[in-house]
Structure 1
Amino acid sequence: MAFKVPRGTQDILPEQTPKWQKVESILRQLTHVYRYKEIRTPIFEQTELFQRGVGDTTDIVQKEMYTFDDRGGRSLTLRPEGTASSVRAYVEHKMFGSPDQPVKLSYMGPMFRYERQQAGRYRQFVQFGVEAIGSSDPAIDAEVISLAMDIYQTVGLKDLKLVINSLGDKETREAHKTALIQHFEPSISEFCSDCQNRLAKNPLRILDCKKDHEHPLMKTAPALTDYLTESSAQYFADVKKYLDTLGITYVVDPNLVRGLDYYNHTAFEIMSTSEGFGAITTLCGGGRYNGLVEDIGGPDVPGIGFAMSIERLLLALEAEGVELDVEDHLDIYLVAMGDEAKLKSAELLSTFRAKGISADMDYVDRKMKAQMKSADRLSAKFVLVIGESELEEMSVNVKEMETGNQEKVPFSDLVNYVLEHK
């Protein structure tokens, strides 16, 4: 039987991982600069956490979660997103009692959704996200958006579009909900079964439907921004004012609703406008979720965050032809001729590595010519050929591969020589 990677997953091979590591290092560096501290939560949680936190009318909860019963009969779910878990940890560990508010968190790790595989979309994918919990200041909304934009620009992306909207407060949503029901109800039979089920409970989800997005009523649906209360409109105006001050270009889209039930007030997406990126353009999405902390059992504390797929970030880099500056060099390759030389090479490898010098040697007894080719393929900076004469003289010619220059160096001085010239 030939085993293959499960559908909707992928193997990230050694030649690909340097790009991942580079992106991850940029993410960690920027979250340090913005002061978002990493949190690591379990890969699975109680199913009810996502039903309550993400929303039981969402596609994620209704169709995409990997849910199972453990041996104790408890329903558990592989996390489909990171916000609910982060908020659960915030509540459980009483982070709301910290004197430093808001609590600013970041996370990165695998998420799981049973959805149709497409370019850059997998059933197991790596998601990076941040949460700022404990502030209702529009300035923190702008900071979160700024961090997301900063990430994409730092990795080298240029074809970007930021879209924002306001989902308003509870009063706004209720007025808009009534208007949506009146708008869609006469023709709801023309929509998919999901939209029909959502009409009474959460008609806002209809606007996010992938099946019926071309229906004429979608284009004429009441805009949520037309129902903003005075305070909601002012909040949105303040967010835009901060974005303007930061020099961040954006487009207001009244139809942007996001796919999760917990969003209110600010919602945003960052999209790729690169021609080669594909039909699904969204790179990152986020927004404010006042009320979520309380829904999960905590105090009435506001929050805002975003999440992005690392796979789609890498796909966007490929679409724009951006090459990451990855470091995957080899300092030393040792070519050993004979058993005694191989013993000495093993000793030198250990000495080099103890000083942080990357070093390697042949382990399949290839001829000298084949070993030299291997050193070239590995882009080794220096090659050391060790044979009987080198063992007798206790020194070796250090060859710099790029220039071809060689210099005889005693074994005892090799580490210093390499450190000075690497």
Structure 2
Amino acid sequence: MIRARVVTAEHPEDLVLAFRRMGLAPSSLAALRESLPHTRLLLTGLGTQALHFLQRLQALSDAPAALPAWLAGEAGGRPGTGMLSGHAEQFRLLVDLARGGRDELPALSKAVAAALASGTAPPALVLGDKRFEWGASTYVMGVVNVTPDSFSDGGRFFDPEAAIAHGLALAEAGADLLDVGGESTRPGALPVSAEAEVARVVPVIEGLRARTSVPLSVDTTKAAVAREALRAGAHLINDVTGFGADADLPRVVAEAGAACCLMHIQGTPATMQQAPRYDDVIEDVLGFLEAAVARAEAAGVPRERILLDPGIGFGKTFEHNLFLLRRLNELRVLGLPLLVGTSRKGFLGRLAGGKPASERLAATLGSVASMAALGGADVVRVHDVAEARDALAVADAIRRSEDGGALYAR
């Protein structure tokens, strides 16, 4: 499959501020932004026809500069790769030229167009009484584990009343949604039966639904569990297998009109950390998530009701986790909101000198703030809601700041 992703780009907000400082009229900003060559796209999965088209770019126009520049990959990389660089008008012309071609060229056009649109916020999502405006701020999902063996707080909230009280406390602390889970997905965890999982999560969902309007998510891979959870009042199904474990789950979500979060995983929780390996972790995560979205849409789940999760710690090494977090924006080529969970995970403990899960709050907040400052996550999944909201308030405010003095005024 042909895929294009933005690998380097100026921050659009900073470019607008620089234009203001120069005293340029607001009406000229859009045209100037498009005239500056600040976009570079890494292309992968190119076949012979697409490569030939790109190699002949300069011959396809009377004015060679009207099309983006092409740099082909060499023998050391995966075949069918290369890079395009240019400004928006050049890319638009390429998209139009390729769209009218045959065989691989419409796929090339679609991939480049998707990459160019990746800076646009996805459509808003309504869950229950809450409207999520993606791109406006970073939202917080609070974790409610109803399990005896979760890596961080296993057993603390196994009693339904304790779990309900914990969820209400997280809602009071400012959680935008709550994620209830009845089966541990820590490395090495073994599955539990659907009956046991339903018995754990449904009373908690019913208790929370009766006492808070905060939207509820259920962390499950099973259609039988999802069906009962949605009947009890859940709004979203959070599947760590990306609809890869239970073929009936996408249909259950679609029939309920629910939303879903589809996560990347390599292997299963029982095996995922034994020897994770990738040639290109971004490429492989993108391919997995594209397939997951296709399964959801084929079952009738509207695209605008899908979130994606890169699966930090789910079949990744220490370095894979860091690389993914650094390059989250490359996943935006899929045009869907990103939910990312780093809270108290093992790679943070390693960075913090080997601290156990109970002592990883500061490291978690560092990861949360970094994602917000880089614009890499729309939702962060955390155990410590109040502290995460404070960190996000700072990071989001820094990212959105515009008052640099009178010369930066609109």
Q: When the two structures are superposed, what TM-score results if normalisation uses the length of structure 2? A: 0.22
Q: When the two structures are superposed, what TM-score results if normalisation uses the length of structure 1? A: 0.22
Relative to its length, the structure with more strand (as a share) is: 1
